[in-house]
Chain A
Amino acid sequence: MDLASKLRQLLPQKTSPAPPQPKLDLDPYLGGAEVVTPYGPCYLITKELPLDRRHGGWKLGEVFQASYHKLARFGQPRGELNLESTLFLDTETTGLAGGTGTYAFLVGLGYFTPESFVVKQVLMRDYNEELALLHLVQQELLSKETVVTFNGRTFDLPLLQTRFALARLGFQGAAGKVHLDLLPLSRRLWRYKLASCSLDSLEENILGVRRSGDIPGWAIPQRYFDFLNTGQGHLLRDIVEHNFLDIVSLAALLHRLQRVLELEPHSCRCPYEAEALARLAAEEEDLPLALDYLQAAGELASEEELQLRILRQGAAHLKRLGRHAQAAALWQRILAREEADLQSAEELAKYYEHRAKDLEAARQITRRALALAWAARSPKASDFEHRLARLERKLRRRAAEL
């Protein structure tokens, strides 16, 4: 028995292999052309979108001309964002597993020129074109200072870094550039508003862009392998289109993020965004501004969960600012809505005991909280027991003094 048939017996059977097809001409399907690099040829598709083209509610020209000062603090490292030297980058890969056996077979690169938004898509038509692909990507990276991606921090950039490292040609990749990943920032703004912060979901719900007949991400690796095995260019059409739209959406999303971050408290129209902006302000230690955003969010909010979140954050900020009476008022509003919020009950009890010196009120709240803590088998119960005992001691002492 020969080796291969023996192996087939030992190993589970697969479908019988299809004979490799001769490579067909890709140009009619993808509209690009072969380019020759010092490392051999690969395939390049270049599209130039005029600046009056609209995507996601704005003209690309508006996107280009806007200032992105609000986004500077989210870069890694923190850095000014200048669209003239910014590269939008998205890869299509042979898998999600990572490791040295996962290849980026298509890299989409977008950038603005004074005349247009240019999208270059570099494709390796087979594995032997990888060096050429990497070379072209490297060339584009060299002339830019900032890279914008969606989920690039954990996926695209480490993967490219691995590819560059394997090439062992001294390519720097994106190392040394400012990187802005729009996924974590989008999550911070819309996590509570949207069920998912995938690019699809953001396009549909935030940018108002609808794709038709888009290839789902999970199907891309196998589609590429099918292309390798059959050489049929039309198989790549959907992938190239998908990658192209990702790049254009990146630019639109960047603009949308800047617009939201620019909102003043009084101009917010979405309670979730106002709440998110409050968090960002608090992170920058600007608590009065955070309170203004929370105020705006509270006025816009209708959902109960959101209301409670707003009140809790407001109370916490007021406490830190030393505005204890105002904080206490918020804790009371929280407890009126959610009796079993033990955290707020504890804060309020502390306030009455130590700030307002109203031991009777403190006792009342502690008693009620203790009962609820018992019912919920909360570990806080013992804290409340201690507090209650101390309050009663103090009250007895005060009674004795009188």
Chain B
Amino acid sequence: MWAVGVEEVLKKLENNPRFMSNVTFRLTVEAQEGVYEPIPEFVHPDLQALLRRRGIAKLYSHQAAALRAVQAGEDLVVVTPTASGKTLCYNLPVLQTLLEDEEARALYLFPTKALAQDQVAELVAWSEELGNRIKTYTYDGDTPGDARIAIRAAGSIVVTNPDMLHSGILPHHTKWMRLFENLKYVVIDELHIYRGVFGSHVANVLRRLDRICRFYGADPLYICTSATIANPQEHGERLLGRPVRVIDQNGAPRGRKDIFFYNPPVVNQPLGIRRSSLLEAEGIARELISHKIPTIIFARSRLDTEVLLTYLRKAFHRLGEPQETVRAYRGGYLPKQRRQIERELREGKVLGVVSTNALELGIDIGTLQAAVLTGYPGTIASTWQQLGRAGRSHEPSLAVLVATSSPLNQFMIQNPDYFLDRGVEYARINPNNLLILISHLKCAAFELPFTEGERFGEIDPAELLDYLTEEMVLRKVEGRWYWMSEHYPAAHVSLRSASTENFAVIDTTDGKTQVIGEVERFSAPMLIHEGAIYIHESRTYQIDHLDWEGQKAYAREVETDYYTDANLDVDLKVLDVFAQEELPQVRRSWGEVLVAAKTHMYKKIKFYTHENIGWGQISLPELEMHTTAYWFSLPQGFAGGLDQGALQSALLGAANLLGNIASLELMCEPSDLGVAAQLKSPFTQEPTVFIYEKYPGGVGFSEQLFAAHGRLLRRAISIIESCPCQGGCPSCVGPVEEVGPGGKEHTLWLLKGALGHGPRQQAAAAAAPEN
């Protein structure tokens, strides 16, 4: 390996015709000068001295603006990109207050433990310089029992995560009386992470926090930071349930960044098959790392992370480099492993990190200079976050987005204007999702009885509390609702997913019994069914036994040349229609559905060649979920002369494609949605395409899709028409093996007909005489 600068590697890439021929778009974000303001005079002299010792003689304009807003008593959201010194925006006012008032307290919320620990390390260093007057502690699941008592009594700044606030602090608020009685600030970092289901939960946790603060007579100021999103004001106000002031003029300087959109070459024109994005990303990352450019590689899934890690390690092993040059970092790792990887990154022992989006968040891992994104991250905001992960300093950096063959990826890579013009996403939450709301009403009633007329955020919860009373979870006496159960409700509500229980994966190799990872309940049938290959730290394990009731999977390390991929079969029943409209050609609707998902079989896929080398059966219980869906159905006669097989393939193709573009329309994670196509829906009695939400009760996406019906169909048509494949491929309607021959043509026909653009009338007329 030889070390060269980013500029030199950039030149090499530019002079590499194979690389450049696959680049569909290139963007240079020029370096930017900083905008500064002097440190205001009211800042405590000790703090001024501390800043000066750190070489901070002036503030970025957004830091000064934040300080002024706090002085004026405004709740605020600071929106700036990574590495813009956002922590100073809250640390400065908080430390200022704590220096002036010994009794004052602040609560910091970070979305992950890793971020919280990072932050505490910095605050402790500051506090030491300020004479140890300010005690900062993290409070999370790892905090030992005796330390907890000290934190409750003496912690000036308590750093935790929403999950711990939800299950550890709020239900025990009397133990935290000192904190709540003196609470002056609530700091919420990475506000944009709190969107979708997670955000809807967190909004309710904040409603509960608000109740407890009122009980103790506290009225803290909220200081939040966020990565760039389209609606910081709206999102902040929805999440916090109060008006906020947005500060979004970034005054920080930044280095030049070169961004490439890279589309892997087509290797099979008729089938529209491109070279694997994993292999392409691996090649690019290998090039960067071998020039000693510290590089982060983002993969879309846990499985991809492990496959990439395996490839890269083998490659460096062949070159005689230590395997530890490249490490993986993902959600399923146990906390200790993750801390160690973060440390090694900072120390420079590691040059490449393969990560899922866990690192998208602002953990300070120092000097990454390049980012390789395997696949479009699903949202424009995430893409900018991941592209911005490298090059936090003033130095130049580069980033490559490698497209996969999914329709969404192909759309983005071929329409970079969309990426540039559309702007970043809206963060959407629905704190009033009934299921989420009811869970938190229970927790809130446990914390303090509800009084008649009391509001919960913006809503009047009386009707729901009466429901819980009927269910004998609450008891109403003299205008107050009390908790009437021996359970601890927060223990049954997980903020991060629909299910509360994770499955443990246990390594039993050579008589061991060691937990090596966790898998979320709804993913268990896909990832840890019996026979599945579970990859961990690039070692392959086979699942020997899955104890469904006990939520444990027993694995054994094995040598394999394949991995497994399970298929999910979905059955869907309509329960209730919230709205529907007869359009000239089709009927669109949205409403409540029951989704039953079951995995029947899995495929064995060979490493490197990705060929299918066998399959196996899975027999696990069906998982049921009540949720909401958008659907459209084709009336009698629509299909005309099209035979059943062709209609089936058209429906399947339309479902595949629409599901993908729906996530683009909603700017949500593609994994938030599922699709189903029914030739004769038991409910509509007609051919129907469904897009449903993968969270019980839904978070409001279905209604938005219902409204966007026409735009969805038009965009789908344009993708099919611009796709170079012949009969259908993963980039449009799905591979021919799945949708059948002619799938592309049939789907196009269906979509055009549905919009009234196609020759439907003619087809129907032609078909009529035969009937």
| Interface pair B472/A14, CB less than 8 Å apart | yes
B447 surroundings in chain A (CB, below 8 A): 99-101
Restricting to A98-115, which residues have a CB under 8 Å from any CB of B?
98-103
Partner of A165, one of B174, B466, B483: B174
Partner of A166, one of B174, B475, B576: B174
| Interface pair A101/B483, CB less than 8 Å apart | yes
Any B CB within 8 A of the CB of A61: no
A7 surroundings in chain B (CB, below 8 A): 434, 438, 464, 467
Q: Which residue of chain A has the shortest Cβ distance to B575 in the bound complex? A: A9
A127 surroundings in chain B (CB, below 8 A): 449, 475, 477, 480, 482, 484
B463 surroundings in chain A (CB, below 8 A): 3-4
Partner of B472, one of A101, A103, A165, A225: A225
Partner of A10, one of B464, B486, B488, B696: B696
Restricting to B572-619, which residues have a CB under 8 Å from any CB of A?
575-576, 592
Restricting to B448-475, which residues have a CB under 8 Å from any CB of A?
448-449, 463-464, 466-467, 470-472, 475
Restricting to A146-191, which residues have a CB under 8 Å from any CB of B?
161-162, 165-166
| Interface pair B177/A11, CB less than 8 Å apart | no
A95-B485, A101-B171, A221-B486 known; A11 vs B576 contact (CB < 8 Å)? no
| Interface pair B467/A3, CB less than 8 Å apart | yes
What's the minimum C-beta distance from B476 to chain A, rounded to whole angstroms? Answer: 9
Count chain A residues whose beta carbon lies closer than 8 angstroms to a beta carbon of B. Answer: 32
What's the minimum C-beta distance from A329 to chain B, rounded to whole angstroms? Answer: 42
| Chain B CB within 10 Å, residue with most, of A1, A7, A17, A225 | A7
What's the minimum C-beta distance from A2 to chain B, rounded to whole angstroms? Answer: 9
| Interface pair B488/A97, CB less than 8 Å apart | yes
Any B CB within 8 A of the CB of A229: yes
| Interface pair A126/B486, CB less than 8 Å apart | no
A7-B438, A10-B626 known; A99 vs B467 contact (CB < 8 Å)? no
Q: Which residue of chain A has the shortest Cβ distance to B479 in the bound complex? A: A128
Any B CB within 8 A of the CB of A94: yes
| Interface pair A222/B172, CB less than 8 Å apart | no
| Interface pair B172/A99, CB less than 8 Å apart | yes
What's the minimum C-beta distance from B473 to chain A, rounded to whole angstroms? Answer: 9
Any A CB within 8 A of the CB of B175: yes
Any B CB within 8 A of the CB of A228: yes
| Interface pair A3/B174, CB less than 8 Å apart | no
Q: How many residue-residue contacts, CB under 8 A, span A and B?
A: 93
Any A CB within 8 A of the CB of B253: no
Q: Which residue of chain B has the shortest Cβ distance to A2 in the bound complex? A: B463
| Interface pair A96/B471, CB less than 8 Å apart | no
Partner of A101, one of B477, B488, B696: B488
| Interface pair B487/A95, CB less than 8 Å apart | yes
Q: Which residue of chain B has the shortest Cβ distance to A4 in the bound complex? A: B467
Any B CB within 8 A of the CB of A6: yes
Q: In the bound complex, how far is the Cα of B470 from the Cα of A143, in angstroms? A: 43
A95 surroundings in chain B (CB, below 8 A): 485-488
What's the minimum C-beta distance from A328 to chain B, rounded to whole angstroms? Answer: 40
Restricting to A32-75, which residues have a CB under 8 Å from any CB of B?
none
Restricting to B203-231, which residues have a CB under 8 Å from any CB of A?
none
| Interface pair A17/B472, CB less than 8 Å apart | yes
| Interface pair A10/B480, CB less than 8 Å apart | no
What's the minimum C-beta distance from A69 to chain B, rounded to whole angstroms? Answer: 31
Restricting to A230-268, which residues have a CB under 8 Å from any CB of B?
none
What's the minimum C-beta distance from B510 to chain A, rounded to whole angstroms? Answer: 15
Q: Which residue of chain A has the shortest Cβ distance to B438 in the bound complex? A: A7
Q: In the bound complex, how far is the Cα of B478 from the Cα of A127, in angstroms? A: 9
B198 surroundings in chain A (CB, below 8 A): none
Q: In the bound complex, how far is the Cα of B477 from the Cα of A103, in angstroms? A: 15
| Interface pair B467/A97, CB less than 8 Å apart | no
Any A CB within 8 A of the CB of B446: yes
Q: In the bound complex, how far is the Cα of B438 from the Cα of A225, in angstroms? A: 21
B696 surroundings in chain A (CB, below 8 A): 10
A1-29: contact bitstring with B at CB < 8 Å (1 yes, 0 no)? Answer: 10110110111001001000000000000
Q: In the bound complex, how far is the Cα of B449 from the Cα of A103, in angstroms? A: 12
Partner of A100, one of B172, B480, B592: B172
| Interface pair B446/A94, CB less than 8 Å apart | no
| Interface pair A228/B171, CB less than 8 Å apart | no
| Interface pair B486/A96, CB less than 8 Å apart | yes
Q: In the bound complex, how far is the Cα of B463 from the Cα of A221, in angstroms? A: 26
A4-B470, A14-B471, A17-B472 known; A101 vs B174 contact (CB < 8 Å)? no
Q: In the bound complex, how far is the Cα of B700 from the Cα of A162, in angstroms? A: 39
Partner of A94, one of B174, B434, B484, B575: B484
A128-B477, A165-B174 known; A222 vs B626 contact (CB < 8 Å)? no
| Interface pair B471/A17, CB less than 8 Å apart | yes
Q: In the bound complex, how far is the Cα of B473 from the Cα of A95, in angstroms? A: 13
| Interface pair A3/B488, CB less than 8 Å apart | no
What's the minimum C-beta distance from B182 to chain A, rounded to whole angstroms? Answer: 15
| Interface pair B174/A162, CB less than 8 Å apart | yes
Any A CB within 8 A of the CB of B123: no
What's the minimum C-beta distance from A158 to chain B, rounded to whole angstroms? Answer: 8
| Interface pair A97/B477, CB less than 8 Å apart | no
Restricting to B431-454, which residues have a CB under 8 Å from any CB of A?
434-435, 438, 445-449
| Interface pair B477/A162, CB less than 8 Å apart | no
What's the minimum C-beta distance from B118 to chain A, rounded to whole angstroms? Answer: 30
A165 surroundings in chain B (CB, below 8 A): 174, 177
Q: In the bound complex, how far is the Cα of B334 from the Cα of A272, in angstroms? A: 44
Q: In the bound complex, how far is the Cα of B488 from the Cα of A310, in angstroms? A: 45
What's the minimum C-beta distance from A219 to chain B, rounded to whole angstroms? Answer: 10
What's the minimum C-beta distance from B168 to chain A, rounded to whole angstroms? Answer: 10
Q: In the bound complex, how far is the Cα of B173 from the Cα of A100, in angstroms? A: 7
| Interface pair A228/B471, CB less than 8 Å apart | no
What's the minimum C-beta distance from A201 to chain B, rounded to whole angstroms? Answer: 23
| Interface pair B480/A98, CB less than 8 Å apart | no
What's the minimum C-beta distance from B499 to chain A, rounded to whole angstroms? Answer: 13
What's the minimum C-beta distance from B700 to chain A, rounded to whole angstroms? Answer: 15
B480 surroundings in chain A (CB, below 8 A): 127-128
| Interface pair A100/B171, CB less than 8 Å apart | yes
Any A CB within 8 A of the CB of B727: no
Partner of B626, one of A9, A162, A229: A9
What's the minimum C-beta distance from A108 to chain B, rounded to whole angstroms? Answer: 19
What's the minimum C-beta distance from B211 to chain A, rounded to whole angstroms? Answer: 12
Q: In the bound complex, how far is the Cα of B434 from the Cα of A4, in angstroms? A: 10
Q: Which residue of chain A has the shortest Cβ distance to B445 in the bound complex? A: A101
| Interface pair B446/A101, CB less than 8 Å apart | yes
What's the minimum C-beta distance from B270 to chain A, rounded to whole angstroms? Answer: 47
B294-311: contact bitstring with A at CB < 8 Å (1 yes, 0 no)? Answer: 000000000000000000
Any A CB within 8 A of the CB of B741: no
B735 surroundings in chain A (CB, below 8 A): none
Q: In the bound complex, how far is the Cα of B464 from the Cα of A3, in angstroms? A: 8
B306-336: contact bitstring with A at CB < 8 Å (1 yes, 0 no)? Answer: 0000000000000000000000000000000
Q: Which residue of chain B has the shortest Cβ distance to A95 in the bound complex? A: B486
Partner of B475, one of A6, A11, A161, A228: A228
Any A CB within 8 A of the CB of B724: no
What's the minimum C-beta distance from B596 to chain A, rounded to whole angstroms? Answer: 15
| Interface pair B486/A97, CB less than 8 Å apart | yes
What's the minimum C-beta distance from A141 to chain B, rounded to whole angstroms? Answer: 18
| Chain A CB within 10 Å, residue with most, of B464, B480, B488 | B488
What's the minimum C-beta distance from B714 to chain A, rounded to whole angstroms? Answer: 33
| Interface pair A225/B484, CB less than 8 Å apart | yes
Q: Which residue of chain A has the shortest Cβ distance to B437 in the bound complex? A: A7
What's the minimum C-beta distance from B468 to chain A, rounded to whole angstroms? Answer: 9
A162 surroundings in chain B (CB, below 8 A): 172, 174-175
What are 16 A-B contacts with C-beta separation under 8 Å? A3-B463, A6-B434, A9-B592, A10-B626, A10-B696, A10-B697, A14-B472, A94-B483, A94-B484, A94-B486, A95-B485, A95-B486, A97-B491, A127-B480, A162-B172, A165-B177
**Closest 3 interchain pairs by CB?**
A101-B446, A95-B486, A97-B488
- Which residues of B pack against A, CB within 8 Å? 171-175, 177, 434-435, 438, 445-449, 463-464, 466-467, 470-472, 475, 477-478, 480, 482-489, 491, 575-576, 592, 626, 696-697
Query: Beyond the given A7-B467, A165-B174, could you list 4 further A-B residue pairs with CB under 8 A, ordered by the A residue number?
Result: A10-B697, A95-B485, A99-B488, A161-B174
